[in-house]
Amino acid sequence: MKIILKKDVANLGEAGEIVEVKTGYALNYLVPQGFAIIGTPSAIRQHEETIRQRAHKEAKNIAEAQAYAEKIASSLVKIPVKVNEDGKIYGSVTPAQVADALVAAGFEVDKKNIEIVSEDVKELGVYDAKVKCYKGVFADLKFEAVAAE
């Protein structure tokens, strides 16, 4: 019997897959537990159409994210930090500070999606960070730590 999995099932498949199982297993366990629906021809057609629409929407989202990533990568963000007489930064530049600077520059980015690639930012200068824009789409950001006035 063909079924369409609604949830991941160990040793059977992942959500969204169409698999062949024994009738008793499908009717007595998978369907009543909400793990699957019966794979009638109309249900399979509807499922395939849903997958096609999701793929189209996903491609559109990825294209938008790549354009957004290019905008982020083309900008140089300045982050004002407190420094001592020797030019050393008090503390270090954090992803939250980078996110605040990006928001000030007009980009909506969450601090959880920023990873500072350079080692500890302890001195003034230009450093690299990675910004996650979407699943698998990253922007390489250059930011500059400048002395706060």
| Predicted confidence (pLDDT) per residue in 38-54, tens digit | 999 999 999 999 999 99
Task: Give the total number of structural domains in the chain.
Answer: 2
Collapsing DSSP states into helix, strand and coil, what is residue 129? Answer: strand
18, 41: one domain: yes
108, 54: one domain: no
142, 77: one domain: yes
Contact 35, 7 (CB under 8 A): yes
The structure tokens 């929407």 sit at 57
Domain containing 28 — which CATH number?
A: 3.40.5.10
41, 9: one domain: yes
17, 48: one domain: yes
77, 130: one domain: yes
74, 41: one domain: no
Q: How far is CA 73 from the centre of its chain?
A: 17
- pLDDT band of residue 35 (cuts 50, 70, 90) is very high
130, 140: one domain: yes
- pLDDT band of residue 30 (cuts 50, 70, 90) is very high
20, 42: one domain: yes
- The rounded radius of gyration (Å) of the Cα atoms in the chain is 24
Tokens of 107: 């980009």
Range of the domain at 40: 2-66
> How far from 37 is each of 9, 13, 50, 53, 96, CA to CA, in Å?
13, 14, 15, 20, 45
72, 120: one domain: yes
Domain containing 120 — which CATH number?
A: 3.10.430.100
Whole-angstrom distance, CA of residue 79 vs CA of residue 129: 13
| Predicted confidence (pLDDT) per residue in 124-149, tens digit | 889 999 999 888 899 999 999 888 87
37, 100: one domain: no
- pLDDT band of residue 118 (cuts 50, 70, 90) is confident
pTM strictly above 0.75: no
Tokens of 117: 């690639």
Collapsing DSSP states into helix, strand and coil, what is residue 118? Answer: coil
| Predicted confidence (pLDDT) per residue in 51-99, tens digit | 999 999 999 999 999 999 999 989 889 999 888 888 788 888 889 999 9
123, 95: one domain: yes
